[in-house]
Amino acid sequence: AKASGGNSFRFFDKDMLDIVNTRAALEADMRHGLQQEQFVLYYQPQVNSAGVVTGAEALVRWQHPQKGLVPPSDFIPLAEESGLILSLGAWILDTACAKLAEWQSSEDTKNRTLAVNVSARQFRQNDFVAQVLDNIARHHIDASKLKLELTESLLVDNVEATIDKMNQLKTRGVGFSLDDFGTGYSSLSYLKRLPLDQLKIDQSFVRDILSNNNDAVITRTIIALGQSLGLAVIAEGVETIGQRDFLQQQGCLSYQGYLYGKPSADLR
């Protein structure tokens, strides 16, 4: 390609890009990355109304040898489509439980909770409950500090099976948070039936809470709904003291966002 000069470089690059960009290549690259342990978990603090860290959410990143740190939005959707989320999810659960064991071995971090995102496809696996219980046993963790974040997409089908699985884990102490609440399409009658512990207000509502009256009303409604269902409520994407004060006034007493800390590899 070099000898033919000028334009051929561009074509060569473009062809390469086309190949690299195919889903198959990305999927193979992910599979390889999983084998090579290129994935890492970051931890973002969750705080109470006194600003004290009560726990964290585990957020996956891909430390790619060429592309650098790849955000989950660039690979989770394909991982879900391809089914790779099952092995990636298993790795995430294992790694998160190891972190929880580490925290539980130290006096000043032993009461921390750790929230782990579980994709719908991962949760629907027949052996999901067994997988979680196996991790709890292997890592000798207090299961009441493990919180699984589910999304409303789980409510689309087979609510009975979802409730059954949740109850099996709940009897062992595992908690459940409904992530991105308000952005999906869960019916309120299903919401009432789910054995949840917490609702998580999506950052899309929190962002303009002080300037957009609709967002303020939605947020207020979610908080009131949580209170009437006996659920804790946490807000994500809290970036300013103004947002936090508004949430606090409305009765939301747990927060996560850049105001308190970005996700990092070494939350201590």
> Which residue ranges make up the site for ligand C2E (CB under 6 A)?
44, 58-60, 71-73, 76, 92, 117, 119, 179-180, 203, 236-239, 257-258, 263
> What's CA 27's distance to the chain center, in Å?
21
Residues 42 and 265 sit within 8 Å (Cβ to Cβ)? yes
Q: Tally Cβ neighbours within 10 Å of residue 166.
A: 21
Task: Return the one option of Ca ion, ligand C2E, none that residue 182 interacts with (CB less than 5 to 8 A, by type).
Answer: none
3-state secondary structure of 147: strand
Task: Return the one option of ligand C2E, Ca ion, none that residue 119 interacts with (CB less than 5 to 8 A, by type).
Answer: ligand C2E
Within 8-27, which residues bind Ca ion (CB under 5 A)? none
Tell me the angle at which helices 85-104 and 23-35 cross, rounded to the nearest 10 degrees: 30
Smaller CB distance to Ca ion: residue 29 or 237?
237
Binding part of the chain for Ca ion, among 47-55, 75-83, 172-180, 220-228 by CB under 5 A, reads 172-180
Task: Return the one option of Ca ion, ligand C2E, none that residue 237 interacts with (CB less than 5 to 8 A, by type).
Answer: ligand C2E
Element at 43 (helix H, strand E) = strand 39-48
Query: Tokens 């989770």 correspond to what residue?
Result: 76
Lookup: tokens for 65: 């040898």
The CB-of-17 to Ca ion minimum distance in angstroms stands at 30
The CB-of-7 to Ca ion minimum distance in angstroms stands at 44
The CB-of-232 to Ca ion minimum distance in angstroms stands at 15
Q: Which burial class, exposed, middle or buried, applies to 22 when counting CB atoms under 10 A from its CB (0-12, 13-18, 19+)?
A: exposed
The CB-of-119 to ligand C2E minimum distance in angstroms stands at 4
Judged by the rule CB under 5 A, the positions of this chain that interact with Ca ion are 117, 149, 179-180, 202, 236
